[in-house]
Structure 1
Amino acid sequence: MRRLPARRPTIRDIARRAGVSESAVSFALNGRPGVSEGTRERVRRVAEQLGWQPSTAARALSGEGSATVGLVLARPARTLGVESFFLRLVSGVQEALAARGLGLLFQVVEDVAAECAVHRRWWAEHRVDGLLVVDPRADDPRPALLAGLGLPTVVIGAMDDPAWEPAPDGALSNLWADDAEAMDSVVARLDALGHRRVAHVAGLGELAHTRRRAAALRRAAERHGLHVTSVTTDYSDAQGAEATHRLLAAPRPPTAVVYDNDVMAVAGLAAAARRGLAVPADLSIVAWDDSVLCRSTHPPLTALARDTAAFGRRAAEELVALLDGAPARRTRDATPLLVERGSTGWAAAT
């Protein structure tokens, strides 16, 4: 049996539990005179037991909603200043929301436990009317939490974990692109160029799309008879460069490296140069998610390209549809396309 979404506690609930009037609850919670200290303490204790939080929006107090949707990003904050993907995604989200007069409440936290805490607080405070959720991961605590809160939600990214399976009458939609198909296209092209040893400098290991890309690489390698390896990082340029140095120092180093973002690919290009390697004569490089950065290096980087801002707009539009009462659905977005530039070429003879 599907669990019904939890209902936010109200002043009326507190009054009923504490055995006082609603006006007494208002006086007690707002620190106004008119109630005894004993009543004030009892009301506050009941409010805490019920999980009540004050609304921070006047519209929420009137029952009209907050006219705001939320997005929490559980990524190391130090990596966001150099990675353009989320900036472009959020710009597309904001464009679609602004067209409907909706605001975006955005917060960065260190881990998914902190993200769950933010979701619970926003729900209790009537802070948001819906949520955008990114980075599905293994053993993810968010599906159960979101089902309990009942907030309309759009998950951005493929939901491989059965825990994400939405109920037919639920309020959880999904927008996703096929990372496995994109990785297949990269491996097929590298194979055609004669590469037999391919490395993957991936992002955070707990993310579902990291695991999906690594698994797709292994399957494609088996089909083409290639030797492959994947290493995980925090998406930063520092760890991208460090991973590249380790890979290139191996007795039989890769002749091609696929990076999970543009920043690490540029760092890998610099790391190869420091080791005296020419790109693409000695090493081919492919970046995930094309950007101005990829087009500005020498040589310019081969990359998997998609319109990330448009991807964000479509995610926001899916959420607006849920807020308007449309049924939840899963929508597949276009697969990123491989754009070849100067960083890929024929494998060097080894």
Structure 2
Amino acid sequence: MSLEAARPTINDVAERAGVSRTTVSNALNGKGTIGEATIARVRRVADELGYEPNAVARGLRQSKLGVISLLIRPLESLDTAMPEGVDYFLRFAGSAALAAMDHGYSLMLISDPSKPGAPPSSLAADGCLVEAPIRNDPALSLLDRKRIPFVAIGVDPARPDAFPAFVQQTEGETARVLDHLHEAGARRIALVTGTDENAWNVFARDAYEQWTARHGVEAIHRSIDETLGVEGGRMVAHELLSGATPPDGVYCLTGRHAAGFVAGARELGIDVPEDLVVAAGSDAVMNRTSSPTITALDLRPVETARLAVDALIRILQDEPVDWSSLDPTSELVVRESTSRRRGDGPAQA
């Protein structure tokens, strides 16, 4: 079935609501003299069917717009779309834009289209990419209801099999980093995640609990709001490292939290990496340029974005997608923060 045929029409709404096409048009556009009950019924049916009456959306049903939209979900919870020292989103968006151009499309960055007051233009695209959706993500529900093709980069943790998505290897990556910290001598390893309920945070936490249980060690987990950035990492470092039994290793999912944790440790007179080893779950500019430089996972946003665009184009063209081959393997970039000079024995508090 073609994408145009799959989208609901005004005839579908009229038939379901038991009214004429004219009544549907007037009810949705605030014209004519129609009873409130009829207006409410027509609008409810239109919403259930995913019918979009605005002129741009009508154009979607009639022809290709040549536009792909991109919703970077983590930016919705940050106080800026360009967090200092973080280049993941820039690299992802830039690669997606160029990949879209290769297919004859433009890329449009959008905010959450499910928010109250979101402009109709946020849905004016042939398809959408959603990076790092959250649990029960309302944007995915809206796109699905509107029958707008989309690809999620990372699954919705509450609905992992419900939508087309890259199933990222977060559990395996988490175990790999924890193993690396353990091999570097750490025996009490803490995990610092963000608070967004996306698959990255949720699955990393689950994998960490499994790893600590398997090794018979205490799980030390803290969740820090992503908006706190470096300062959040510094705060949790002061909390954990000032305790009676501080960790000698820490895995921070975000690069900014890792940089802050290292800064906090140094303020307390703790040497990194000799007394404490630190790794980040997402490489960032500040991890590559800080002193010491910080070991991090390169999640390969350039390659991921290109593959996501390619997958969405295949969906738009009614072609099959092999999802099992799409998540690029991340690279653990070992730097100074886990490279001890005095050997790999356990750190001394």
3-state SS, counterpart of residue 111 of structure 2:
strand
Given that 1:290 and 1:306 are in contact with CA atoms closer than 8 Å, whether structure 2 keeps it comes out as: yes
1:198 has 2:193 as partner:
no
For 1:147-162, list aligned pairs within 5 A: 147-158=144-155, 161=158
**Hey, what's the Cα distance between the residues in 2 that align with 1:20 and 1:310?**
47
Determine the structure 2 residue equivalent to 1:335: 329
For 1:68-147, list aligned pairs within 5 A: 68-74=67-73, 75-78=76-79, 80-82=81-83, 83-109=86-112, 115-117=113-115, 127-140=124-137, 145-147=142-144
**Hey, what's the Cα distance between the residues in 2 that align with 1:145 and 1:29?**
21
Determine the structure 1 residue equivalent to 2:218: 227
- TM-score (norm. length: structure 2): 0.78
3-state SS, counterpart of residue 329 of structure 2:
coil
How many residues align? The count is 327
Report Cα offsets for 1:235-279 as digits up to 9, x if no partner. 222222222221112211111111111111111121112212221
Give the letter for the 1:76 counterpart: S
Determine the structure 2 residue equivalent to 1:169: none
1:64 has 2:60 as partner:
no
3-state SS, counterpart of residue 192 of structure 2:
strand
Unaligned runs of 5+ in 2: none
Given that 1:18 and 1:46 are in contact with CA atoms closer than 8 Å, whether structure 2 keeps it comes out as: no
For 1:1-350, list aligned pairs within 5 A: 7-10=7-10, 19=20, 29=29, 38=33, 48=43, 50-51=46-47, 53-57=52-56, 60=59, 63-74=62-73, 75-78=76-79, 80-82=81-83, 83-109=86-112, 115-117=113-115, 127-140=124-137, 145-158=142-155, 161=158, 163-166=159-162, 172-235=163-226, 236-331=229-324, 332-344=326-338, 345=340, 346=344, 347-350=346-349
Structure 1 window deviating more from structure 2 (67-76 vs 184-193): it is 67-76
Change (3 A) 1:264 1:255: same
Unaligned runs of 5+ in 1: 32-36, 110-114, 167-171
**Hey, what's the Cα distance between the residues in 1 that align with 2:20 and 2:136?**
42
Change (3 A) 1:301 1:156: same
Change (3 A) 1:46 1:176: closer
**Hey, what's the Cα distance between the residues in 2 that align with 1:45 and 1:189?**
59
Structure 1 window deviating more from structure 2 (10-19 vs 268-277): it is 10-19
Given that 1:60 and 1:126 are in contact with CA atoms closer than 8 Å, whether structure 2 keeps it comes out as: no
Root-mean-square deviation (CA, aligned residues, Å) is 3.7
Given that 1:143 and 1:164 are in contact with CA atoms closer than 8 Å, whether structure 2 keeps it comes out as: no
3-state SS, counterpart of residue 326 of structure 1:
coil
- TM-score (norm. length: structure 1): 0.78
Given that 2:71 and 2:130 are in contact with CA atoms closer than 8 Å, whether structure 1 keeps it comes out as: yes
**Hey, what's the Cα distance between the residues in 1 that align with 2:301 and 2:106?**
20
**Hey, what's the Cα distance between the residues in 2 that align with 1:349 and 1:330?**
45
Given that 2:303 and 2:328 are in contact with CA atoms closer than 8 Å, whether structure 1 keeps it comes out as: no
Given that 1:29 and 1:44 are in contact with CA atoms closer than 8 Å, whether structure 2 keeps it comes out as: no
Determine the structure 2 residue equivalent to 1:34: none
